[in-house]
Structure 1
């Protein structure tokens, strides 16, 4: 396993990590979740990603029981939670980024995960109803109390992150260390365009999600069928509709042909492509089957094959590289 610093921080994350969105407490059994975490940990994965909103809090409960049962040394792994969407019970002050919800959500996550502190704590979405000063102060309070070690954002715009940094500096507080954006061969704008100044000036780290674009970059959806997969799950019709478009599938079919030509499984080609970006601290893997995870955990082996020529050919196939502004 390769380990990368989380941006300019001293924290080292495994280049490949394991996430629990849509799987833990929902798509897979607790037994399979246990097996997946064990396989990941034994392979050198040290970062496990979670959120209060995943399976309405059940995902964190499942992960917490697994961590406790394995008895792993606390220093050997990094665990995250995210605050915004709330858990099962919605209502006033139970969602968003108010001081009340940020603090209470942290306490809830600690209880569900059965840990004394969260290594990473993300603001899962920006909250237009709460002053950014209030959220930054709340995060700083949790840092001072030792309940979280680093805080960051997920799916925030560059301007919103910059505002959080400005507020932190104004009041001599600790600002965001990392962002968790979607990043894959289809969705590239944030990492390759919008966030460039954040990387250069502030050394922001990233833990990216959906590196396989909800699975379509794994090759399983090139036929346009999503039977018995996560896109076939009830409540995810919106995700299926946005993922399985004719334009995307046409590009993926061409990518599949190129992957076959290179003799590299398309999933590993797509994951390796993400890892080639120096601004990616960790690629979060999602898995519902043990064999799927074992295969994807060997992605580092293909990195030497992703030469500049190969990367350029992938760009020509996908035609998704953002156009940078001219100054």
Structure 2
């Protein structure tokens, strides 16, 4: 496992991060979750990403149990705040001082830790003054409950404004957590250049485009049993990639993966990590063996000519619209 700095801080994370968005307390039973976390630890993953909204707080609880007996100083635990949780009252969402303080206390309890290494604003809150949000994060840093601060799916302008305020309050935003993959590159035009200017790097989610880039979905073929695309509750997340045109192009990437003696899934993760502004790629797992496979992407270098070939193959199927980086206009309640 290789490690990278977050932003221009001295804080390192494993470049493959274990995330439990759709798995813990949802897709898989707790005992299976414990086995996947054990496999991640065995594979050298030290960084674990979750959020209070995942499985309505239950995912944090499962991760806390799974990491309970590990040396805390040897781990990097990441969580997030924004979305409505618990009873979903008027203050149970957003980035107000009240919600941030109450959320971190709940997250720490569920994760069974005194602090989180990185606390992330899960979206931008248009209804709370940014000054209030940044002051709350800064206070948590000074209290020692949060070591570093990040954001998720913020626009370039929001990152710049947030960083200016943060620095004035004596701390920094070190990371942004956006969606990014070979097929979804909306952060390349504005978010990445602005992040570079502001000392911010990316922790990206869905580097395999919800599994499409693993090559398991074949054009014109039945959906694999148990896959996300076959799950009525999850199908909407992946449907934008499921046309025969996109799936056909994805299959053309297999010879490139074969050339590097890696799987298509490993190629997709390695491609993301090839970008110098990417600190880490988040991967999930429902089975321990998936972790070992994903970790093998760490350290893989993709030749420049192959990167060009990938762009040629995927062509117009790549989503690049920078306007797609946005937060909900109003709070969810």
Both proteins in one fold, TM over 0.5: yes
**2: CA distance between counterparts of 1:237 and 1:322?**
22
Rounded Cα–Cα distance in structure 2 between residues aligned with 1:15 and 1:240: 24
Q: Which of these residues, 282, 285, 292, is aligned with residue 283 of structure 2?
A: 285
The question of whether the paired residues in 1 share the 8 Å contact of 2:17 and 2:282 is answered with yes
Which residue number in structure 2 is paired with residue 23 of structure 1? Answer: 23
Equivalent in the alignment of 1:212 = 208
Describe the SS at the equivalent of 1:33.
Answer: helix
**Structure 2: stretches of 5+ with no match in the other structure:** 323-333
Match of 2:197 in 1: 201
Aligned to 2:64: 64
Distance 1:224 1:308, change over 3 A: farther
- In the alignment, the residues of structure 2 paired with residue 263 and residue 65 of structure 1 have an alpha-carbon distance, to the nearest angstrom, of 36
**1:137 aligned onto 2:135:** yes
Match among 299, 304, 309 for residue 305 of structure 2 = 309
For normalisation by structure 2, the TM-score amounts to 0.90
Match of 2:181 among 166, 179, 184: 184
1:193-221 Cα shifts (integer Å, max 9, x gaps):
21233343222122111000011001112
The equivalent of 2:39 in structure 1 is: 39
Report the CA distance between 1:308 and its aligned residue.
Answer: 1.1
- Matches of 2:108 and 2:242 in 1, distance apart? 37
Instruction: Write the distance in 1 (CA, Å) between the matches of 2:45 and 2:289.
Output: 16
Question: What is the correspondence of 1:1-327 to structure 2 with a 5 Å cutoff?
Answer: 1-68=1-68, 71-169=69-167, 171-190=168-187, 192-222=188-218, 223=221, 225-260=223-258, 263-300=261-298, 303-304=300-301, 306-319=302-315, 320=318
Runs of 4 or more above 6 Å deviation: none
Structure 1 unmatched ranges of 5 or more: none
Work out the number of aligned pairs and report it.
318
Q: Which has the higher contact order (CA 8 A, sep 6+)?
A: 2
Structure 2 CA distance for aligned equivalents of residues 23 and 193 of structure 1: 31
TM superposition shift of 1:260: 4.2
